[in-house]
Amino acid sequence: MSGRTIDGRAAARLLTEGLTAEVTRLQEDGLGVGLATVLVGDGFSSAAYERRLRRLATELGVRYLPRTLPGTATEADLLAVIAELNAAPEVSGILVLRPLPAHIDEATVFRAIDPAKDIEAVHPENAGLLALGVPRFVPSTAASVFHLLDTWLDQAGEDRTDFYHRSLIVVVGRSNNVGKPAISLGYHREATVESVDEWASRTGNLGRHTRRADVLIVAAGRPGLIKAEHVKPGAVVLDVGINPRTGPAGRVHMVGDVDFASVAPRVRAITPVPGGVGPVTDVWLLRNTVTAARPARALVEAS
């Protein structure tokens, strides 16, 4: 069996085309669309993500308002920036880039974001709405995983409802921004969902869970964690990992949480890194920003 590579870049291009038209309509209606990002420190992955969002926002005609604070900034400094962005009418979406420095309490920061501008659903109100199945915003990475999966099912001629009803989805990783939202989205589709984390790997039990999965979503933040022996033949594998690695010439490149070379021949479909979930995530974040610019549209679809 040779796994089909799911092309995230192609999916992102289609989403971008639709967004461009929506941004134009909003501007014609006199509604501004603005994305504000807040970066604390100079982490490589966060800074790279910020640059990608800047380019995409420019491409779509979305106003982009970056805020950068030094790694020594206090929690009060960060909360003051968020308060300023909450009050700014030109800002429809706010993204605080992770990870934050250890001396800043993430939960306090996320509670400070206006829920109507909280495009990654990190505020408790939005996280609760997602868990209840009535999301205001769906976190971009988890949404992108299921958008790619749904699109692949359509292309493969699978009935979505039937597929999810008979499938076991195993999510590796329980982060608040990816793992837990992915679990909720699996539940929304009425699939059977199982969650494991790094402790399963440490105790040698990871494969016992992952080998049963019809759909394996990997968001553990550990490069090459999933190998061929961890995967059921014919499964669909979605790799969320983005791990920077420095090559022999000193050039930094990204690798996933899945050992693509060994897993791809064993599965029915798989996302690569780069070029899989990442490009769709970027567009989905802008999609949420566009949605937030329409106050009357209180809820959005999960996918």
Residue type, 12: A
- Which CATH number applies to 139-278? 3.40.50.720
pLDDT at 3: 64
Question: What pLDDT, in 10s, does the model give residues 179-200?
Answer: 999 999 999 999 999 999 877 8
Measured between alpha carbons, how far is 53 from 219 in angstroms, rounded to an integer? Answer: 21
pLDDT at 265: 96
Measured between alpha carbons, how far is 8 from 30 in angstroms, rounded to an integer? Answer: 32
Q: Note if the bond before 135 is cis, omega within 30 degrees.
A: no
Q: Given strand 269-270, what is the order of strands in its sheet? A: 4-5, 269-270, 236-239, 215-218, 168-172, 192-196
Q: How would you write the chain as a 3-class SS string?
A: CCCEECCHHHHHHHHHHHHHHHHHHHHHCCCCCEEEEEEECCCHHHHHHHHHHHHHHHHHCCEEEEEEECCCCCHHHHHHHHHHHHHCCCCCEEEECCCCCCCCCHHHHHHHCCHHHECCCCCHHHHHHHHCCCCCCCCHHHHHHHHHHHHHHHHCCCCHHHHHHCCEEEEECCCCCCHHHHHHHHHHCCCEEEEECHHHHHCCCHHHHHCCCCEEEECCCCCCCECHHHCCCCCEEEECCCEEEECCCCCEEEECCECHHHHHHHCCEECCCCCCHHHHHHHHHHHHHHHHCCCCCCCCCCC
Residue 89, C-beta contacts closer than 8 angstroms, at least 6 positions apart:
32
**Nearest-CA neighbor of 227 among 172, 280, 153, 302?**
172
* pLDDT > 70: percent of the chain: 96
Measured between alpha carbons, how far is 195 from 43 in angstroms, rounded to an integer? Answer: 28
pLDDT at 63: 95
pLDDT tens for the 303 residues of the chain, in order: 456 999 999 999 999 998 988 898 888 888 879 999 999 998 888 988 999 999 999 999 999 999 999 999 999 999 999 999 999 999 999 999 999 999 999 999 999 999 999 999 999 999 999 999 999 999 999 999 999 999 999 999 999 999 999 999 999 999 999 999 999 999 999 999 999 987 787 888 999 999 999 999 999 999 999 999 999 999 999 999 988 888 888 888 889 999 999 999 999 999 999 999 999 999 999 999 999 998 634 333 344
pLDDT at 69: 97
pLDDT at 244: 85
Q: What is the pTM of this model?
A: 0.92
pLDDT at 295: 65
Top-level CATH class of 15-117?
Answer: alpha beta
Note whether 172 and 257 are within 8 A (CB): yes
pLDDT at 300: 37
pLDDT at 252: 83
Residue span(s) of the chain under CATH 3.40.50.720 come to: 139-278
Residue span(s) of the chain under CATH 3.40.50.10860 come to: 15-117
pLDDT at 31: 81
